[in-house]
Chains A and B, each alone.
Chain A
Amino acid sequence: MTTQLNDGNNEIKLVMRARQDIESFGILYDLYFPRVYKYVVYRVFDYAAADDIVSEIFERVLANLSKYDERKAPFGAWVFAISRHAILDHLRRRKAHPLLALDSLARRADPGSNTEQATLEHDRNNSLRAAIHTLSAQEIDLIGLKYSFGLTNRQIASALGKNANNVGVMLHRAINKLRGALAGEEEDDE
């Protein structure tokens, strides 16, 4: 059978194997690192901090993998919960040590290529991330669950303890807000 691995059943199989098999854990890491990193960057808007937080998240994932119960929630929702706690811990620490100033996204402005297209893409992505950072924490969580972890509205509702219809409405509102923020930035620059 050849199928995409984002299919729920396949993912469960992979997670179950990852508990016993190091190679499967490596594959699971490869699948989830981009998702987790994306969500964390959206929340903290800081690459250096994101590197630290994501490291902590995966340490926790590894330490607690045997406790994950696939009957209770999709794996993505479980990782999201760990991610959210790690981010809150980070934000608390940062509040306690305000001198640790926010890193700028522009610090990693090298797109890795000199082509104009790559530069445009890099700038556009940074603009998107900056615009996302203007959303509320709850809105970023919604965006993260949907576009980083790939959950359905029903799964998001379950993860956040909300009604599935409300999730749809809130997501629509958040994306609309995002669109406004992006358009606003564009106008400011003009």
Chain B
Amino acid sequence: MNNRSNNINIDVLNKNSSVHEEEALKKVTELLFNDQPAAESRVEKSLKERLLQRYASAQHETADSAKAPGFHHVPSRQFKWVMAGIASIIALYGILFLSVPEVQAATRNLIIRIGNLLIDNDPTDAELYVATMTSGTPTATVDPNKVCEDCRQVQVAGLLSVEQAGENAGFPVFEAAYIPDGYELVVRDVLDTDETITVDTSYRMELDPPLHNGEMMSAIIAIEQTYFKKGSPVWESSVGDVPIVEVTVRGYPGIWLEQVPIYPFQDENGDWNYANWNQLIWAEDGYNMMIQTNMPSNLLPLSELQKIAESLE
């Protein structure tokens, strides 16, 4: 303990410092929050592997009775008959539907981690918002159309060069060498929040005639490169009932989501509708990456988004 205290060098900790006590205490709490001794551990990875192996063996051993590890309840005879009935229905359902990969993904209620994002099939913000607004006692406090609550500067989508975006973000920015014909670069900007720095690069193409009864006037392809700052917790991203389809993007594990209800809006009759977007998500070199579009798959298929992804450099 003798060789390191000179390096503390935190004035506010000094008893004789004139800095206000509250500030000093705040500094100590910051130190406590930021301290991460787990970096010193030599077992973090091996322990996880061991536990997961044990978990998998327990699952395997109890698969017949569908028990989770550590579950020791002995079912009654009546309960067993009920379970047998349910199992038959599930089996029949499985024969009918589970051979289709997309349906398989949806029925598993997947939860999957991509970089710093945990993606699941819970309702999206837009769906929660509409559910609340149509509940009879609308008390929605989350506006899914709101862009940012903790942005460091006023958000005016700009058109920066790749170099400027890189300077603002503090990291190299991916640029797509391939974008389908007709699309024009309209936004390249940096969104800096408490937890993340995101570079948004968007392309637009005017639609003539518009789609969806004249409501969709332009096609958009947005490329988002997000860096989660040090100490940022894992984020949950819910995508509603859409199938979470596992894909490989640029050699990395990723997911493909079709028609995620992202933005809610009311039509002229007051009925709620959603703007549904397709999303290709993966993680690469410490960044969470997403290419999303408001165009349906028949007009802009996954293969085109993959092509854009492959062209990023």
Which residues of A come within 8 Å of B, CB atoms? 1-6, 10, 13-14, 17, 19-27, 29-31, 33-34, 37-38, 41, 47, 50-51, 54-55, 58-59, 62-67, 105-106, 108, 112, 119-120, 123-130, 143, 146-147, 172, 175-176, 178-180, 182-190
Contact A2 B39 (CB under 8 A): no
How many chain B residues touch A (CB < 8 A): the figure is 61
B25 at the interface (CB under 8 A from A): yes
Q: Which residues of A lie under 8 Å from residue B123 when comparing CB positions?
A: 1
Which B residues lie within 8 Å of A24 (CB)?
Answer: 111
CB distance from B245 to the nearest CB of A (A): 16
Q: A2-B238, A29-B51 are in contact. Are A129 and B37 (CB under 8 A)?
A: yes
Pick the contact of B5 from A6, A63, A105, A186 — CB < 8 Å? Answer: A186
A15–chain B nearest beta-carbon distance, Å: 11
Given contacts A1-B128, A27-B113, A175-B28, contact A189 B35 (CB under 8 A): no
Proximity string of chain B (107-120) to chain A, C-beta cutoff 8 Å, 1 when within and 0 when not: 00001110001101
- Beyond A124-B8, A129-B35, is A2–B235 a contact (Cβ under 8 Å)? yes
Is B269's beta carbon under 8 Å from chain A? Answer: no
By the criterion CB–CB under 8 Å, are A54 and B43 in contact? yes
B70 and A2 form a contact (CB under 8 A): no
Contact across chains for B28 and A29 when beta carbons are under 8 A apart = no
B125 and A1 form a contact (CB under 8 A): yes
Best-surrounded residue of B15, B56, B195 (most CB of chain A within 10 A)? B15
Interfacial residues, chain B to chain A (CB-CB below 8 A): 1-10, 13-15, 24-25, 27-29, 31-33, 35-44, 47-48, 51-52, 54-56, 59, 68-71, 111-113, 117-118, 120, 122-125, 128, 195, 233-238
Asked if residues A5 and B41 are in contact (CB atoms below 8 Å), the reply is no
**16 pairs, A vs B, C-beta closer than 8 Å:** A1-B123, A1-B128, A3-B236, A14-B111, A22-B55, A24-B111, A47-B41, A54-B41, A65-B69, A119-B7, A128-B32, A147-B29, A183-B14, A185-B5, A187-B14, A187-B15
For the residues of A in contact with B, the DSSP-based class is: helix
B41, A124: Cβ atoms under 8 Å? no
Whole-angstrom distance between the Cβ of B112 and the nearest chain A Cβ? 7
B4-A62 in contact (CB<8A)? no
Report the Cα distance A47→B43, complex, angstroms: 10
Does A34 lie within 8 Å of B38, measured CB to CB? Answer: yes
CA A58 to CA B124, docked complex, whole Å: 32
Given A51-B43, A120-B7: A186 and B13 within 8 A (CB)? Answer: yes
Nearest 9 Cβ contacts at the A-B interface: A123-B4, A189-B5, A34-B38, A147-B32, A37-B38, A1-B238, A123-B7, A66-B70, A19-B68
Residues on the A chain within 8 Å of B124, using CB: 1
Contact A124 B31 (CB under 8 A): yes
Residues on A with beta carbons closer than 8 Å to the beta carbon of B8: 123-124, 127, 182, 185-186
**Chain B residues with CB below 8 A from A120, complex form:** 7, 9
Q: Which residues of B lie under 8 Å from residue A20 when comparing CB positions?
A: 68
Compute how far the CA of A23 lies from the CA of B27 in the bound complex, rounded to whole angstroms: 37
With A1-B125, A37-B38 as known contacts, state yes or no: A65 contacts B70, CB within 8 Å.
Answer: yes
Residues of A within 8 A of B40 (CB): 41, 47, 108
Q: Which of B24, B36, B71, B235 contacts A5 (CB 8 A)?
A: B235
Contact: A128 with B56, CB < 8 Å? Answer: no
* A183→B52 CA distance, assembly (Å): 43
Check if B47 sits within 8 Å of A112, measured CB to CB. Answer: no
Using known A-B contacts A23-B112, A147-B33, A175-B29, determine if residue A58 contacts B47 with beta carbons closer than 8 Å.
yes
Tell which of A13, A21, A31 touches B234, judged by Cβ atoms closer than 8 Å. A31
Cα of A162 to Cα of B68 in the assembled complex, Å: 34
B-side contacts of A185, CB under 8 Å: 1, 5, 8
B43 touches A27 (CB 8 A): no
In the complex, which of the residues A6, A17, A182 contacts B13, with contact meaning CB atoms closer than 8 Å?
Answer: A182
Shortest Cβ gap from A21 to chain B (Å) = 7
B237: which A residues are within 8 A, CB to CB? 1-2
Contact A179 B24 (CB under 8 A): yes
A63 to B69, CA, bound (A): 7
Report the separation of the CA atoms of residues A34 and B231 in the bound assembly, to the nearest whole angstrom.
Answer: 11
**Min CB distance, A39 to chain B, in Å?**
10
Contact of B70 among A3, A37, A63 (CB under 8 A): A63
Looking at B13, B15, B36, B235, the one whose CB has the most chain A CB atoms below 10 A away is B13
Assembled-state Cα–Cα distance A160/B31 (Å): 24
20 new A-B contacts, CB < 8 A, other than A2-B117, A2-B125, are A1-B122, A1-B236, A3-B236, A4-B234, A14-B111, A22-B52, A26-B48, A27-B111, A33-B38, A51-B42, A58-B47, A62-B54, A62-B69, A124-B10, A125-B35, A127-B7, A130-B1, A147-B29, A147-B35, A179-B27
